[in-house]
Structure 1
């Protein structure tokens, strides 16, 4: 199924030369929490590809309806469409004059997304990898109690992280700061902030 593409001019984004940070880690490693904490302390813009996709669907736009049908069928949204949404949000922040940098929450998910992002927008300044043992991830997500968080689906998400995202960390290892995420969130945030410099 075709999804409408938008031509996004990323020249302003590239010339703004703002730091871009990828926040990666397995399910339940605290990516969203850390992005929120860092956003408050730095003024960086927190972007989640999942939130951008959901917002587009809720908007009722033609593209949103196409995305809804795709997701309803259990199909993956094409990388270039996800990148359209991210690039659009980043450019809006630059034109709004508020952004001091960007935190990409759980994106890129795989090498295809990473390579497409670098080709279209540029290389991240830093990659923060929130490292956590799988049994801790499972316990955290089961305790959270979301409707889709059962042991089987969580183990599948952990396996996807190992198979899909770990190669991103390996390819860009020179940019990666690995942090132990099995600590209080405030301690992890305190370690991330100097790593962004």
Structure 2
């Protein structure tokens, strides 16, 4: 059996969590065992135990949460489809590659949440952030990041989503079709 994963990728405030929930719901409606795994969900659960710190502390918790996600995926039965909501570009590409290999993932579908730099900045300023995340001043840095960020594109098919528009069923249909195809990533 092929172990598949859907990575929902995009800069912070690009709409990944909204798209991820839509994907999980749509795959479950098609009788696929989709499981949501969000980097911020795990990281925010760690704050009460490990504390809120500076930017490097936040990054350390992000790295730990990212590893926890893929260690968890390694224990899943192949029939489950993890939908991983994270800004996958926060670390070198090689880190994701190593996690995918360790989790024995043979098929990756990348959903790229495309958002304009100004929308990412505005959303970041408007969102109710956990105090462990970077402060509002990060919004200007995020705007710059959003102007350069792009999908990995080399782990498998990339489905680009206009994350400024409401999600539509075409996203789920494309993922469903990719999950059913026989192509796998090179390991």
Q: Does 1:172 align with 2:154?
A: yes
CA RMSD of the aligned region, Å? Answer: 3.1
Q: 1:113 aligns with which of 80, 90, 95?
A: 95
Paired with 1:123 and 1:84, the residues of 2 have a C-alpha distance of 18
TM-score normalized by the length of structure 2: 0.69
Larger of the two Rg values belongs to structure: 1
Q: Which position in structure 2 is the counterpart of 1:53?
A: 43
Work out whether residues 117 and 147 of structure 2, in 8 Å CA contact, stay in contact via their aligned partners in 1. no
The structure in which a higher percent of residues are helix is 1
Paired with 2:71 and 2:117, the residues of 1 have a C-alpha distance of 34
Q: 1:72 aligns with which of 53, 57, 71?
A: 53
**1:127 match: secondary structure:** strand
* Residue correspondences, number: 163
State how 1:9-158 maps to structure 2 within 5 Å: 17-43=2-28, 44-58=34-48, 60=49, 68=50, 72-75=53-56, 76-77=59-60, 81-91=64-74, 93-94=76-77, 100-109=80-89, 110=91, 111-121=93-103, 122-144=105-127, 146=129, 150=136, 152-158=137-143
Paired with 1:128 and 1:113, the residues of 2 have a C-alpha distance of 18
**Structure 1 segments of 4+ aligned residues over 6 angstroms from their partners:** none
Paired with 1:144 and 1:55, the residues of 2 have a C-alpha distance of 18
TM-score normalized by the length of structure 1: 0.66
**1:172 match: secondary structure:** coil
Q: Which position in structure 1 is the counterpart of 2:144?
A: 159
**1:77 match: secondary structure:** helix
Q: Which runs of 5+ in 2 are unaligned?
A: 29-33, 178-187
